[in-house]
């Protein structure tokens, strides 16, 4: 096996997802994942801290994309609209991977450890969005509330998109859910 | 030691909180907690599944209180107002325990495992509120969105209340945060 492993991260993620689906998360070891991917355990740990993390390799780039889009929103944009613009960028990261996203989501909801890991990633995302809003001059608690509401919309919209056929853009489902939350908050 | 242990749950919770604050969560064992509480490990496991759970003994009664208040809200109440009424009941459960809630919160935010456990309790709370709204005839995604927004308000308000002097009622901070989120969602 050569020391340079093309797309090692993607292969490990794919192998983990297959095995968690087939045998369950608890019944799968890092050694199993590495073997299925045709890589070594050592390579696994070069890329991921543990067997939960392998399903969240995209979290950092998602957060980066959201935060930089938030920073680039027009200065006059209301906080929730700046957050909405940021959420729209999520579309670019998931748009082409509906089947993968659905399989991944089903594996996660079936296991409490994976659900917890997903929730802490979403909480980190919310904290990063709140920081981004504060950097735009938004005071607290509006910054925290807009960030939390944004992540709530993201979560609900993403789950709806997962259950759909995949023909719609995730960005469209996010816009729709945001509009719906505005109605809900207006007491409608 | 008698077999009937008065307030075993409360004593174990108090002992765990002290030890996590003094030594850290990782450095504390169930045996340490039981010893500090003057109880046995066996008694610990009769009350709590693990050393994370000991800080979340109130989660079930909080959820029960929220869900039953939600069910009792006037039929004509808008979903977000029914959720707001439910959140108000949280005041009764935390109102007298500001110093305790603050200590507990600081221990939780200092440890990723405890943060994850807290996030899954909040996610369960959101799912229970969404179910309660569906039982009131609220359609999806409005039910999920109102529940998520409610939990977001609860989270932000609770953290604000923790950082305050404790003179205000937590219910008042929740009302204020809900009003603020309504402004945020209106694009203000």
Number of structural domains (chain B) is 2
In a domain, A3, yes or no: no
A101 and A19 in a single domain? The answer is no
Domain that holds residue B32: 8-54
- Same domain? A21 vs A69: no
Is the bond preceding B141 in cis, omega lying within 30 degrees of 0? yes
Contact between residue B154 and residue B83 where contact means Cβ atoms under 8 Å apart:
no
Q: Are residues A44 and A19 in the same domain?
A: yes
Chain A nearest-CA distance from B116, in A, is 5
- What pLDDT does B1 receive? 47
A28 close to A19: Cβ distance less than 8 angstroms: yes
**Which pLDDT belongs to residue A99?**
86
- To which residue do tokens 């609209």 refer? A81
Give the whole-angstrom CA distance, residue A111 versus residue A154.
Answer: 21
- What average pLDDT does this structure show over B143-163? 93
Report whether B147 contacts B126 (CB < 8 A): yes
Quote the DSSP letter at residue A168: S
pLDDT band at A89 (very low <50, low <70, confident <90, very high): confident
Q: Are A152 and A136 in contact (CB under 8 A)?
A: no
Give a yes or no: residue B3 inside a domain: no
| pLDDT, tens digit, 9 for 90 and up, residues B66-124 | 899 999 999 888 999 899 889 877 666 766 688 888 999 999 999 988 999 999 999 99
Which residues are CB-contacts of B166 (< 8 A; sequence separation ≥ 6)? B98, B99, B102
- Residue B1 included in any domain: no
Write down the pLDDT at residue A91: 62
Judge whether B2 lies within some domain: no
For A146, which of B141, B145, B184 is closest by C-beta distance?
B184
Residues in chain B: 188
A34/A115 same-domain check: no
Confidence band for A171, pLDDT divided at 50, 70 and 90:
confident
- Measure A184 CA to nearest chain B CA, in Å: 6
Are residues A66 and A44 located together in one domain of the fold? no
Q: How many CB atoms lie within 10 A of CB A91?
A: 17
Q: For B141-150, what is each residue's pLDDT tens digit? A: 999 999 999 9
CATH code where residue A143 lies: 1.10.357.10
Helix, strand, coil percent content, chain A, rounded in steps of 5: 75, 0, 25
Which range, of A81-95, A126-140, B50-64, averages the lowest pLDDT? A81-95
Q: Are B28 and B86 part of one and the same domain?
A: no
In a domain, A146, yes or no: yes
Does some domain include residue A173? yes
How far apart, in Å, are the Cα atoms of B24 and each of A133, B21, B107?
32, 6, 8
Indicate if B68 and B161 belong to the same structural domain. yes
Residues A176 and A158 reside in one and the same domain: yes
| A127 and A144 fall within a common domain | yes
Least confident of A77-81, B43-47, B49-53, B128-132: A77-81
CATH code at position B49: 1.10.10.60
In whole angstroms, what is the distance from residue A97 CA to residue A112 CA? 24
The answer to whether residue A73 sits within a structural domain is yes
Angle, helices A142-163 vs A79-88, to 10°: value is: 30
User: Does the residue B156 lie in any domain?
Assistant: yes
Confidence of residue B13 (pLDDT cuts 50, 70, 90): very high
Please state, as a whole number, how many other Cβ atoms lie within 10 Å of the Cβ of residue B156: 27
The reply to whether B34 and B117 lie within a common domain is no
Contact status, residue A139 vs residue B180, Cβ threshold 8 Å: no
Confidence (pTM) = 0.89
Q: Are B181 and A185 in contact (CB under 8 A)?
A: yes
Decide which of B91 and A188 is more confident.
B91
Cα dihedral sign for A108, B151, B108, A157?
Answer: positive
Are A63 and A130 part of one and the same domain?
yes
- Among A145, A146, A150, which would you mutate to test the B interface (most chain B Cβ atoms within 10 Å of its Cβ)? A145
Quote the minimal CA–CA distance from A138 to chain B in Å: 11
Residue A90's pLDDT is: 66
CB B171 within 8 A of CB B88: yes
3-state DSSP assignment of residue A20: helix
Give the span between the Cα atoms of B42 and B46, in whole angstroms: 6
- Do B181 and A183 make contact, defined as CB atoms within 8 angstroms? no
* Inter-residue contact B69 to B89 (CB < 8 Å): yes
Q: Which residues of A are less than 8 Å from B149 in CB distance?
A: 149, 152, 181, 184-185
For chain A, percent of residues with pLDDT exceeding 70: 94
Residues 72-111 of A with CB under 8 A from B: 78-81
* Residue-level pLDDT at A95: 61
Q: A68 and A23 in one domain?
A: no
Written as six digits, the tokens of A56 are: 């969240």
């Amino acid at each position: 096996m050569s020391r340079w492993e093309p797309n090692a991260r993607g292969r490990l993620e794919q192998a983990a997802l297959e095995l968690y689906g087939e045998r369950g998360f608890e019944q799968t070891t890092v050694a199993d994942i590495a073997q299925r991917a045709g890589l070594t355990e050592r390579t696994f740990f070069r890329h991921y801290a543990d067997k939960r993390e392998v399903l969240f390799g995209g979290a950092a780039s998602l957060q980066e994309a959201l935060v930089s889009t938030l920073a680039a929103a027009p200065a006059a944009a209301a906080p929730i609209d700046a957050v909405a613009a940021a959420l729209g960028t999520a579309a670019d990261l998931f748009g082409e991977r509906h089947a993968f996203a659905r399989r991944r989501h089903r594996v996660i909801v079936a296991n409490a450890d994976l659900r917890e890991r997903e929730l802490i990633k979403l909480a980190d995302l919310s904290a990063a969005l709140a920081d981004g809003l504060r950097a735009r001059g938004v005071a607290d608690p509006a910054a925290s509330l807009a960030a939390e509401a944004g992540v709530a919309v993201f979560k609900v919209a993403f789950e709806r998109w997962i259950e759909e056929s995949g023909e719609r853009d995730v960005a469209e489902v996010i816009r729709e859910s945001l509009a719906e939350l505005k109605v809900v908050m207006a007491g409608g």
